[in-house]
A and B are shown apart, each in its own frame.
Chain A
Amino acid sequence: MLLRAEGISRDYFRNGRDTNFFTAVKKTDLEIEKGSCTAVSGRSGSGKTTLINMLSGLLTPTEGRVLFDGEDIYAMSDSTRAAFRNRNIGIVPQGQTGLKSLTVLENILLPAVMYGNEKDKTEKARKLMKQLSIEDLEDVFANELSGGELRRMAIIRAMINSPRMIIADEPTGDLDDISTEAVMKLFDDCIKNGCAVIIVTHEAECLSLLDVPVTTLRVDDGVIKTQSR
Chain B
Amino acid sequence: MRFSSGLALKNIKRKPFRAFAMAVLVMILSFALFSGAYVIISLQNGLSGYKARLGADIIVTPNSAKGHGTVDDVFLQGITGNYYMAKNDIDKIKNTEGIEKVTCQFFLTSAKASCCSSRVQIIGFDPETDFSVLPWIGETFDGTITDGDIVIGADVSMPADGTIKFYGENYHVAAQLKKTGTGLDQAVYTNMNTIKKMAQSAKALLSLDEFKNADIDTSASAVLIKVRDGYDIGAVTDDINIHVTKVQATSARSMISSVSDGLDGVSGIIGALTAGIWVLSAAIMMAAFAMISNERRKEFAVLSVIGASKKMIFSVTAFEAVLICLSGSAAALLMAVLISFSAAGDIGEMLSMPYLAPDFMTFVIIGSGAVLLPLLTGVLASLLSVLRITKNETGMLLREDA
A residues whose Cβ falls under 8 Å from a Cβ of B: 49-50, 53-54, 58-60, 78-79, 81-83, 85-87, 91, 93-95, 97-102, 106, 110-111, 113-116, 141, 157
Contact = CB atoms under 8 A, between A and B. Distances in A.
Contacts of B11: 101
B10 A102 contact: yes
Contacts of B2: 113, 116
Interface residues of B, number: 30
Interface in B301-337: 301-312
A54 B301 CA distance: 15
Contacts, number: 84
A53 B301 CA distance: 12
B10 A79 contact: no
A101 B14 contact: yes
Contacts of A86: 306-308
Interface stretch (B146-154, B185-193, B247-255, B392-400): B392-400
Contact of B15 (A83, A98, A101): A101
A114 to B, nearest CB: 5
B6 to A, nearest CB: 7
B305 A114 contact: no
B394 A59 contact: yes
A96 to B, nearest CB: 9
B398 A93 contact: yes
A78 B309 contact: yes
A157 B399 CA distance: 20
A79 B309 contact: yes
Given A58-B305, A60-B393, A106-B10, 4 more contacts: A97-B298, A97-B398, A101-B15, A113-B6
B14 A58 contact: no
B134 interface: no
A87 B310 CA distance: 17
A78 B392 CA distance: 13
Given A116-B3, A141-B14, A53 B309 contact: no
B304 A82 contact: yes
Contacts of A97: 298, 301-302, 305, 398
Given A60-B393, A99-B299, A111 B306 contact: yes
A140 to B, nearest CB: 13
A184 B341 CA distance: 70
A53 B305 CA distance: 10
Contact of A79 (B3, B306, B311, B396): B311
A111 B307 contact: yes
14 contacts: A81-B309, A82-B304, A85-B307, A86-B308, A87-B307, A95-B401, A99-B299, A101-B13, A102-B7, A110-B7, A111-B306, A113-B2, A114-B306, A157-B306
